[in-house]
Amino acid sequence: MSHYASVSTPKAGSLKVPTGIFINNEWSPSSSGETFSTVNPATNKPLLDISHATKDDVDRAVKAARKAFETTWANNVTAAERGRLLFKLADLMERDTDKLAAVESLNTGKGVRMARTVDLADSIACLRYYAGLADKLHGTTIDNYAKEKFIYTIQQPIGYLSPLRADGSIPWNYPIQMWAWKIAPALAAGCCVVMKPSELTPLTALMLSDLVAEAGFPPGVFNTVPGLGATTGDAIARHDDIDKVAFTGSVLTGRKISIAAAESNLKKVTLELGGKSPIVIFDSADVEEAADWAACAIWFNSGQDCCAGSRVYVQQGAYEGFVKALKARAEATAIGQPEDEKTSFGPLISQLQRDKVLRYIDSGKAEGATVVTGGRKWAPGGEGFWIEPTILTDIKQDMTVIREEIFGPVVCVSTFDDETEGVAMANNTTYGLAAAVFTNDTRQATRVSRALNAGTVWINEYMLVDNGAPFGGFKQSGIGRELGVNGMETYMQVKAVHQNLTQTSPWPL
């Protein structure tokens, strides 16, 4: 039986996409024969039916990963060879960029230009970063005992683990990029992987599985088990032979995974969760420049971004000019069909998500907020799940729209009087993923960036991450870090080795 199906893309024509379960570099159907469906968010029309991995399928994948880890990957493949394979995988992704971007755009609704020049480019760079880092992590020596003993530490891979890239309600926003963020450091560290892609956007993760095999990774090192969070995801989180789960998604699902990890084998957990990220703009800032970055912060990826700058606090003197400038950018946003090269703002992922965002806008209006622009559906031909770029003002700090993560193209703009008040308003949240400060006072920039409670703080810019810089959240925005050396270290464990040189046993004491 074939485990591929054809999908028609506006940019790359008809492409074959895997629809099965990927274990030991081979495709198979679900043990139950069940499938789940995917939908094109720009048309609300069905795409492909994908095999739904059962608990037994997850167990098969974990056994394959365990065998590969114990017999091949951890002990018989050098760090330099792991790096070489990651470089090869990056080259294959670069070769297939147009195909991958076309399918990513089709499945997620994001503009194909954005998928190609941002998501694919950054993901390939991430693989190459960790390919180069694979043989450059070192232990330490501890010289506290002179001639008596020698102590040193070594870093070893955790083992077989599962990056749950898309369990839950929202981690479908960057399927290729989150795939790269998870698998690159894990494989570089010497771990084996069981990957569960999003049930909403699994297509490119399945295509990338074929590239893993083509690159020459040994069977079992990387496995893909598509399925729903409540079934496949839960089986992964509770599996006693998985040593770590790395998850990107909602706080609610992160809590469930933490509970499942604690109730099973106390597996390690890395969580990159939600955000309600603030932007603080001072009177000294360049208002037009701040508006450019603030527009990018909230309307990039149609607002479906964990670190979207959804709360903007503007000092009184700059407020009126900023709102005017931001409104102009909202109304000039390149909203359109995903296949259009000009499009930077596509539909939301689903009708459920679109309707959720509309309810937030309605709640804001009901609580006294003013809609400066946007706030309505935008559906050419009556299909798809677009919402116009939306600005809300007249915000009170107890409003639902200012407290809860909307995960859509809605920004709340408020005013403040002085630095102390601006920082306090920015920090008044249960989240702490990202933040930004706009000012031309360098001392103020340093003070405020230090005071903001967030894992990433930008000064006079927003949204730009770097593969060499750690990314993760404070408070309820997560546990652990991704990217950079810190991101690779989360897939490793430190062992201290004590070697006796001259000491005699103190027994009996």
Contact 149, 498 (CB under 8 A): yes
Q: How far is CA 11 from CA 3, 16, 111, 279, 343, in A?
A: 23, 14, 11, 36, 13
Distance between CA atoms of 340 and 331, rounded to whole angstroms?
A: 18
CA dihedral 150, 153, 156, 162 (to 10 degrees): 150
Please report, as a single letter, which amino acid is at residue 380.
Answer: P
Residue type, 194: V
SS (H, E, C) 197-243: CCCCCCHHHHHHHHHHHHHCCCCCCEEECCCCHHHHHHHHHCCCCCC
Task: Find the catalytic residue in 34, 148, 214, 272.
Answer: 272
Residue 264: phi and psi, rounded to 5, are -100, -110
The DSSP result for 338-388, as a single string, is TTSTT--B---S-HHHHHHHHHHHHHHHHTT-EEEE--SEE-GGG-S-EE-
Cα distance between residue 37 and residue 200, in whole Å: 8
**Amino acid found at 406:** I
First and final C-alpha spacing in the chain: 70
Type of residue numbered 193: V
From residue 459, give the alpha-carbon distance in Å to each of 290, 295, 414, 420, 426: 10, 15, 19, 17, 14
Decide if 489 is catalytic: no
Separation CA 366–CA 226 (nearest Å) = 40
- Nearest Cα residue to 339 out of 48, 122, 110, 172: 110
Q: Is the dihedral of CA 244, 250, 251, 256 positive or negative?
A: negative
Q: Provide the β-strand partners of residue 8.
A: 14
* CB 182 within 8 Å of CB 165: yes
Lookup result for tokens 């810019």: 461
List the catalytic residues: 272
